[in-house]
Amino acid sequence: MSKLLLRFHKFRRSIAKTFKTFKTFILLFAIALSTSLVVSACSPASNTNSVTTPPSPAASGSPTASPKVEAVKVRIGFQKSATVLFSLKGKGTLETALKPAGGSVTWNEFPAGLPMVEALNAGAIDIAYVGEAPPVFAQAATGSTVRYIAYDPYGVEAEGIVVQKDSPIKTIADLKGKKLAVQKGANAHYLAVKALESVGLQISDVEFVFLKPSDARAAFEQNNVDAWSVWDPFLAAVEVDAEARLLTSAKGLAPNRGYYLASQEFIEKYPEALKLILNELKTESAYAKQNPAEIAKFLSPALGVSAEILEKAERRREYDILPITEEVITKQQGIADTFAKLQLIPKSIQVKEAIWEWK
């Protein structure tokens, strides 16, 4: 009996010791949990891909940017006609707007729109600014993910076909049998096609010489081509420097709009950052519209073009950054259909399938 009582007392002491250890564990767990909650409450959010920043100031009437902007390292393609992008680049405006969220900007200059959309399709850049023809070529490419995100009016006086001041060519019809320089796939390419069409000529009636603007100007000044279809500021430069004569502008022939494009991947991954970028573009566009002389003077060193020439170009172009409308889609579809008919693109396309709605 005494042995049984002894074993019982040992068992009680064991249970008591185990319970004491368990209570200690519970106490320590509670302390650790409360400490964790306090630290969590006092610490910043753990999501490093998204921070809250004040919305970018936008011009009156522009869509409102969301305050939640993703951290993005955006690669932007531009060319000499991209006044607004050049201005933003020079001022560092986009860098400042994206920096609070950990974002940055890389700028990539191209001689024209077609190589730019090729880079966009290849994933080498995220956003591009081009004329009305390059997006058509981009969309017609196999596996294209290029999307229209906004447009600017640009204007029919900002591109044209020029000849030498003493050229015997007086009308568009006189281009028959002549050499016409143009950047393949550019807005000026479409202008040339529509100009010839307007007087009953076929593209086979003219010898197209596909050259980038710098080479085309040299060929034009050396009389290796008879005419040149081109856009500002190259158009303004050859008019001022070489006294080239304007054969026709785009008036009545082509809309000559500018388009902002982005890859589908970028749109899906950074929608709020994209809206911030577009709002910054709209704000700068409004400033450029009101201050052509200042913009010309500011951009002159960066572009390597005189302020006089740039101001001439600035004063005849239109400004704004706008969402894509049904009217714009219809005009773009007309360009696409024209290029498909002439077999300049490998297949017919539906422009509406490449539209991103900026809200």
Percentage, residues of the chain above pLDDT 90: 72
CATH topology of domain 51-154+257-354: D-Maltodextrin-Binding Protein; domain 2 (3.40.190)
Residue 119 has pLDDT above 70, yes or no: yes
Residue 332 has pLDDT above 80, yes or no: yes
Residue 149 has pLDDT above 60, yes or no: yes
Better pLDDT: 102 or 43: 102
Instruction: Average the pLDDT over each of 17-21, 56-60, 116-120 and give the range with the smallest value.
Output: 56-60
pTM as predicted: 0.77
Please list the alpha-helical segments (H only) found in the chain. Answer: 2-42, 83-91, 93-98, 113-121, 134-140, 187-198, 213-221, 234-241, 264-269, 271-290, 292-303, 307-315, 326-341
Q: What is the mean pLDDT of residues 95-107?
A: 94
Could you give the count of Cα atoms lying within 13 Å of 24 in the half-sphere of its Cβ?
Answer: 6
Instruction: Average the pLDDT over each of 73-77, 79-83, 86-90 and give the range with the smallest value.
Output: 79-83
Tell me what pLDDT residue 38 has: 34
Residue 353 has pLDDT above 60, yes or no: yes
Residue 109 has pLDDT above 90, yes or no: yes
Better pLDDT: 172 or 8: 172
Instruction: Average the pLDDT over each of 58-72, 77-91, 302-316 and give the range with the smallest value.
Output: 58-72
Backbone angles phi, psi at 159, to 5 degrees: -150, 160
Better pLDDT: 313 or 302: 313
Tell me what pLDDT residue 249 has: 97
Token reading at 186 = 């550019």
Backbone angles phi, psi at 231, to 5 degrees: -120, 170
Tell me what pLDDT residue 147 has: 97
Tell me what pLDDT residue 81 has: 82
Contact between 128 and 116 under an 8 Å Cβ cutoff? The reply is yes
pLDDT band for position 18 (50/70/90)?
very low
How high is the mean pLDDT of the chain?
83
Tell me what pLDDT residue 50 has: 29
Helix (H) or strand (E) holding 354: none
Which sequence spans correspond to the domains of the chain?
51-154+257-354, 157-249
Instruction: Average the pLDDT over each of 92-101, 275-284, 296-305 and give the range with the smallest value.
Output: 296-305
Better pLDDT: 247 or 3: 247
Identical fold between 51-154+257-354 and 157-249: yes
Token reading at 334 = 């007309």
Tell me what pLDDT residue 54 has: 29
DSSP 304: T
Residue 273 has pLDDT above 70, yes or no: yes
Residues 327-342: b if buried by 16+ CB within 10 A, e if exposed: ebbebbebbbebbbee
Better pLDDT: 139 or 70: 139
CATH class of 157-249: alpha beta
**For the segment 21-78, what is each residue's pLDDT rounded down to a tens digit?**
434 433 333 333 333 333 333 333 333 332 223 233 333 333 443 457 888 999 999 9
pLDDT band for position 351 (50/70/90)?
very high
CA 215, chain centre distance (Å): 25
CA distance 151 to 126: 16
Identify which of 160, 198, 200, 165 has the alpha carbon closest to the alpha carbon of residue 180: 160
pLDDT band for position 265 (50/70/90)?
very high
CA distance 347 to 104: 37
Tell me what pLDDT residue 70 has: 86
